[in-house]
């Protein structure tokens, strides 16, 4: 149960901090943090919680990460369901908290896009479904390679959260204009449930592409890089 709660709180912090920065601070008049600030916020959520609870659960905070680590031989299949459920609940609770906060604004009408992920008309830059699929697949693949490499027994000790957090920051710097950046099905699900617009029908892509990228990365790392 300690591991389950660690994954819950870690995913809650990722969604609350990352998506919260996009909702409240990205375009704030004259003081907005912009894409760079949002990218850094997502990286910092993972970095801080990896140090806070990573020693308890491994610090996944993402169903794709859990599945990628399983594919790489670093995680047991029997723990997958519990981790993924905890991650989904943590993300949804965080999104609900963000909804309550944003609905308290004096001129509130609706939550709008709510930092949800999308393609086509719902892409920040108008990118197609194909572009979104390729981006989410490749970015999640490299995210898992960063995670698997930096946590390998031969890697320098104690620096993995920094590499992982900076890796996620870079991923957001690349892809916020494409899909608003997912690489995390729990993060996508939590926001799609509350966002105003047709985000739920597009949610499938933000499960399929990240999980496919993570699985490929896990198998690649196990075959190519995790040998003596």
63 lies in some domain: yes
**By percentage, how much of the chain surpasses pLDDT 90?**
96
228 lies in some domain: no
Q: What is the pLDDT of residues 67-103, one digit of tens each?
A: 999 999 999 999 999 999 999 999 999 999 999 999 9
pLDDT at residue 51, as a whole number: 98
Compute the mean pLDDT over every residue in the chain, rounded to the nearest whole number: 97
Say if residues 118 and 180 touch (Cβ distance below 8 Å): yes
| Interatomic CA distance for residues 63 and 207, integer angstroms | 9
141 lies in some domain: yes
75 lies in some domain: yes
167 lies in some domain: yes
| Interatomic CA distance for residues 184 and 175, integer angstroms | 13
Distance of CA 199 to the CA centre of its chain: 17
* Domain tally, the chain: 1
Q: What is the pLDDT of residues 23-81, one digit of tens each?
A: 999 998 888 999 999 999 999 999 999 999 999 999 999 999 999 999 999 999 999 99
Beta strands in the chain (DSSP E): none
DSSP of 162-179: HHHHHHHHHHHHHHHHHH
42 lies in some domain: yes
pLDDT at residue 184, as a whole number: 98
Q: How confident is the model at residue 173 (pLDDT cuts 50, 70, 90)?
A: very high
For 209, residues 6+ apart whose C-beta sits below 8 A from its C-beta are: 132, 133, 135, 136, 137, 140, 182
133 lies in some domain: yes
164 lies in some domain: yes
For 172, residues 6+ apart whose C-beta sits below 8 A from its C-beta are: 35, 38, 39, 42, 43, 181
pLDDT at residue 208, as a whole number: 98
Residue 227 has pLDDT above 80, yes or no: no
Question: Which CATH number characterizes residue 93's domain?
Answer: 1.20.1080.10
Q: Which sign does the torsion angle of CA 135, 58, 49, 223 carry? A: negative
| Interatomic CA distance for residues 189 and 174, integer angstroms | 21
Q: Which sign does the torsion angle of CA 221, 223, 224, 228 carry? A: positive
Q: What are phi and psi of 150, to 5 degrees?
A: -75, -20
Q: What is the pLDDT of residues 137-154, one digit of tens each?
A: 999 999 999 999 999 999
Structural domain boundaries enclosing 138: 2-223
pLDDT at residue 228, as a whole number: 58
Residue 226 has pLDDT above 90, yes or no: no
- Report the residue count for the chain: 228
Q: Which has the closest alpha carbon to 20: 84, 107, 90, 97?
A: 97
């Amino acid at each position: 149960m300690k591991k389950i709660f660690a994954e819950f709180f870690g995913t809650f912090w990722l969604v609350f901090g990352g998506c919260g920065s996009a909702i409240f601070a990205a375009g704030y008049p004259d003081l907005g943090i912009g894409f760079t600030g949002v990218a850094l916020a997502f990286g910092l959520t993972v970095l801080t919680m990896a140090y806070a609870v990573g020693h308890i659960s491994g610090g996944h905070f993402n169903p794709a990460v859990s599945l990628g680590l399983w594919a790489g031989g670093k995680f047991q299949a029997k723990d997958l369901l519990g981790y993924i459920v905890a991650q989904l609940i943590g993300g949804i609770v965080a999104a609900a908290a963000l909804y309550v906060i944003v609905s308290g604004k004096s001129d509130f009408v609706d939550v709008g896009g709510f930092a949800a992920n999308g393609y086509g008309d719902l892409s920040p830059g108008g990118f197609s479904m194909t572009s979104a699929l390729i981006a989410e697949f490749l970015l999640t693949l490299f995210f898992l390679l960063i995670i698997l490499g930096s946590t390998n027994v031969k890697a320098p000790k104690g620096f993995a959260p920094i590499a992982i957090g900076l890796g996620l920051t870079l991923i957001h710097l690349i892809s916020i204009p494409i899909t608003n950046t997912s690489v995390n099905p729990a993060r996508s699900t939590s926001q799609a449930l509350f966002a105003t617009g047709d985000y739920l029908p597009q949610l499938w892509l933000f499960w399929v592409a990240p999980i496919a990228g993570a699985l490929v990365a896990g198998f690649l790392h196990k075959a190519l890089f995790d040998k003596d």
